[in-house]
Structure 1
Amino acid sequence: MKLTKRLHSCVQLEKDGRVLVIDPGAFSEPDAGLGADALLVTHEHFDHFDEGRVRAALDANPAAQLWTLRSVAEKLAPAYPGRVHTVGHGDAFSAAGFEVQVYGELHAVIHPDIPRITNVGYLVDASVFHPGDALTVPATPVETLMLPVHAPWNKIAEVIDYVREVKPRQTLAIHDAGLTDLILPVYANQIGNLGGAAYERLTAGNATEL
């Protein structure tokens, strides 16, 4: 399976000629969802779900389908009958040849005064886990953890402890649009040295084989 990092939290997976895209949001490239056979969206926040980008992907490929939580599905299902699927914690499904399990229910706490919304994470082919905006620990081993390294709702100590709890073989940084080149080495050093798993940050457009 080939993984290509797109901007911020968007990730593209390719296997056997099929393409799966997770979280094409407003901080990802305008064409982030194009070419997808399947799309997964973790939650409704604009940096993970940009309606225009998802609609463009579904329009470009009439066979493409979307799996997401109810708040996002309700926005798109009427325009794409039979192609938008609502999922939640504990669900499992096949999407364009990828086997996907769903874990998690709520977005991480940003502040006690901000109501929490629904958030789901996706474990793809029992290997790659994308948690969205939460520090969800799947009830199964994870090979590659897509790690949200920087957000209004986390701090680096929590990120390090999350890696320790999940115990993946490797972590790949996501949710990183707010970090500058000046601070990126600090994150790499602290997470890589203290998390207990190999840490890597791919720049947008770069890929790795899993």
Structure 2
Amino acid sequence: MRLTKYGHACVRLEDGDRVLVIDPGTYSEAESLAGATAVLITHEHADHIDVDKLKAARDGNPALTVHTHPALAASLGDGVIPVEVGDTFSAAGFTVRAVGGEHAEIIDGLPGCPNLGFLVDGVYHPGDSYFVPAESVDTLLVPASGPWAKLGEAIDFARAVRPTRAFPIHDAHFGDIGLDSFDWWLETKGGTDYARVPLGESVDL
């Protein structure tokens, strides 16, 4: 399986002709969706779903399937598949399990919206949460920045999940200094094999 890192929280998973994209938001590139056969959306925020880009991709490929939590699925119209926490399903030929359920709190219970994490054949994208799944994880995508994100919690999250390897996502809020600092801490204290995938580049898992 090949993982390609796009802007912010968006990643693309490919294995042969199977192409799955997670969280193509407003900070990610339209090219992330080229040739995709399925899309997973963790939650409703624009940095995780660009409705216009997604509509264009669906118009260009009516067979493209979109999977997300029921409230967001209903707002996106026909053909979007609602997913509940605990569901196991197939998307683009990958086996996916939905976990978690709630967005991490910023303050005062906000934003208080649903958030699904997705386990895709050993790759875990948590969306905007630090939910630790019961399942084993080979590749963890660690949220790095945002109004709800905290460095110490990111380290604790990586330690609790205990993946074979970890890569950062959700990093558009950082400049170079912030990226370097986050990387140093996760490399030093995360307890796993950690590396940054440069924007637009890929790794084979």
TM-score range, shorter chain: over 0.9
8 Å contact from structure 2 (residues 3, 202) kept in 1: yes
Aligned to 2:18: 18
Is 1:112 the counterpart of 2:108? The answer is yes
Q: Secondary structure at the match of 1:32?
A: helix
Among 72, 84, 87, the residue aligned to 1:88 = 84
Q: Secondary structure at the match of 1:105?
A: strand
The CA distance in 2 between the partners of 1:32 and 1:203, in whole Å, is 14
Q: Secondary structure at the match of 1:139?
A: coil
Aligned to 1:166: 161
The CA distance in 2 between the partners of 1:174 and 1:77, in whole Å, is 28
Aligned to 1:121: 117
- 2:22 alignment partner AA: I
How many Å apart are 1:115 and its aligned residue? 4.2
8 Å contact from structure 1 (residues 9, 176) kept in 2: yes
The CA distance in 1 between the partners of 2:34 and 2:70, in whole Å, is 23
Is 1:100 the counterpart of 2:96? The answer is yes
The CA distance in 2 between the partners of 1:173 and 1:74, in whole Å, is 30
Q: Secondary structure at the match of 1:145?
A: strand
Q: What is the CA deviation profile of residues 9-46 of structure 1, one whole-angstrom value per residue up to 9, with x for unaligned ones?
A: 00000012111000000111133323210000000001
Matching of residues 20-39 of structure 1 within 5 Å: 20-39=20-39
Aligned to 2:63: 63
- Figure out how many residues of one structure are paired with residues of the other and give that number: 205
How many Å apart are 1:188 and its aligned residue? 0.9
The CA distance in 2 between the partners of 1:39 and 1:7, in whole Å, is 15
Q: What is the CA deviation profile of residues 41-63 of structure 1, one whole-angstrom value per residue up to 9, with x for unaligned ones?
A: 00000100111111111111121
Q: Secondary structure at the match of 1:12?
A: strand
Is 1:202 the counterpart of 2:182? The answer is no
Across the aligned residues of Structure 1 and Structure 2, the Cα RMSD in angstroms comes to 1.1
8 Å contact from structure 1 (residues 104, 121) kept in 2: yes
Could you tell which deviates more after superposition, 100-109 or 175-184? 175-184
8 Å contact from structure 1 (residues 35, 60) kept in 2: no
How many Å apart are 1:114 and its aligned residue? 2.4
How many Å apart are 1:85 and its aligned residue? 0.5
8 Å contact from structure 1 (residues 147, 173) kept in 2: yes
How many Å apart are 1:113 and its aligned residue? 5.1
How many Å apart are 1:204 and its aligned residue? 1.4
The CA distance in 1 between the partners of 2:9 and 2:138, in whole Å, is 18
Q: Secondary structure at the match of 1:183?
A: helix
8 Å contact from structure 1 (residues 31, 53) kept in 2: no
8 Å contact from structure 2 (residues 103, 111) kept in 1: no
**TM-score, scaled relative to structure 1:** 0.94
8 Å contact from structure 2 (residues 85, 101) kept in 1: yes
How many Å apart are 1:198 and its aligned residue? 1.2
How many Å apart are 1:75 and its aligned residue? 2.1
Alpha-carbon distance change, 187 to 140 in structure 1, aligned in 2, over 3 angstroms? same
Q: Which runs of 5+ in 2 are unaligned?
A: none
Structure 1 segments (4+ residues) deviating >4 Å: none
